[in-house]
Homo-oligomer: A and B are copies of this chain.
């Protein structure tokens, strides 16, 4: 005889209580056994796990979040998904977080500090278990919001010497300096730096180039071409056209991003400007297509997928309350010499 289910709101879902009944233990023991929390008699653990498997039990994330005050969400704040760099980063993050039972909530800031703050507020309402943010620089309010939330946070793409901040990345300035040395090593003297978007990492690359040029006694303010507009192939073409018209002639152009450099290479083809004979062209990031350009683009390969994986791994440790070996991981970079410079 079935019990008369007055006022039943049951979802039909298999619950912790069902597993407890099947394993003949209390619900709390099931909870502990399944989460591997605290010491539980190994024999009970086995019994519970068998029962859970048999019944096809799946914990309810909402109930878990409500009771524990932590969801299984990780908020990821990135500037732009149309930059392939961040797609690779995201893939690395998800590949690490998903098997560990965490969902990634993506927030696209469009390089806007206000939007980042707004997104963070929204995400924080969902009590994320962890935070992954791009770069170290942000509004004071956003910084305070992160701090006050107490949610573990890892910073992506840059490095820091502060022991208080967790980060995984590489030195944008050093990478730019290395490419600049490569260009100088090829005998170029008048090496322009062309930048768009002007986000913090772009400016760090500008610094790296400037540092190297000054050390070699080659720096001149007229070699700096910066444009706050969003980065695009078309803009790269326009900038190339302008820079190539300069006198005395520029011998090499270091674009802060492969987008820009690819656009420059296409403009060179249109204009009939031989690269690298008349002017060498280099980029940054080694994005899709850079190896296919005519001529193939010299650039810096950056380990964004590895950054995503390592940062997610570090966050996993922090969320579990484990110690991390180092608060900041430097994953380096690699100059890729092709034919354009």
B-binding residues in A (CB < 8 A): 11, 58, 60-63, 65-66, 69, 71, 81-82, 84, 87-88, 90-91, 94, 98, 103-106, 108, 122, 125-127, 232-234, 237, 262-263, 266, 269-270, 288-289, 291-294
Contact = CB atoms under 8 A, between A and B. Distances in A.
A61 B152 CA distance: 20
B232 A288 contact: yes
Nearest to A266: B292
Contacts of A262: 289
A289 B232 CA distance: 8
Given A90-B81, A292-B234, A63 B61 contact: no
B288 A62 contact: no
Given A61-B125, A62-B127, A263-B292, A11 B69 contact: yes
Given A294-B266, A294-B269, A87 B94 contact: no
B71 A81 contact: no
A10 to B, nearest CB: 10
Given A58-B125, A61-B125, A62-B126, 6 more contacts: A60-B66, A62-B71, A81-B91, A262-B289, A266-B294, A269-B269
Nearest to A268: B294
Contacts of A292: 233-234, 237, 263, 266
A105 B233 CA distance: 30
8 contacts: A60-B125, A61-B125, A62-B66, A63-B66, A81-B90, A82-B87, A234-B292, A269-B269
A277 to B, nearest CB: 16
Give me the 5 closest cross-chain CB pairs, A-B, nearest first: A62-B65, A62-B66, A233-B292, A269-B294, A81-B87
Nearest to A237: B292
B82 A81 contact: no
Nearest to A65: B62
Contacts of A289: 233, 262-263, 289
